[in-house]
Structure 1
Amino acid sequence: MKGLFDFSEVATYFFRKKDPNRKTNFNLRTMHTINKISILMFLAGIIYFVIKHW
């Protein structure tokens, strides 16, 4: 059960430092940008749902 509620990877996803050894390209940057937007929209939806049904 401990692994189900481990949100450390999600929390650190926004604050990771860039790896200088990793090659970046447009597709990879776009994918990470879309992932960040989707995580923020999901969290905003959860907060809205909790406030609306409180």
Structure 2
Amino acid sequence: MKGLFDFSEVATYFFRKKDPNRKTNFNLRTMHTINKVSMLMFLVGLIYLVFKLMTR
């Protein structure tokens, strides 16, 4: 059960430092931005559902 609620990888994904040796392009930056937005939307929805169930 402990592994189900381990959000450390999600948190480190948002606060990662940029690698100066890696070449970036528009497609890669766009993909990472879309991934970050979708993870944030999922977490907000999950928090909303938890609060909605708690207030019943």
User: What TM-score does the superposition give when structure 2 sets the normalisation length?
Assistant: 0.83
* Cα distance, 1:52–1:3 mapped onto 2, change above 3 Å: closer
Overall identity of the aligned pairs, in %: 85
Corresponding residue for residue 23 of structure 1: 23
Q: Unpaired segments of 5 or more residues in structure 1? A: none
User: What TM-score does the superposition give when structure 1 sets the normalisation length?
Assistant: 0.85
1:38 is the counterpart of 2:38: yes
- Structure with more relative contact order (C-alpha pairs < 8 Å, separation 6 or more): 2
Tell me how large the CA RMSD over aligned residues is.
1.6
1:51 is the counterpart of 2:51: yes
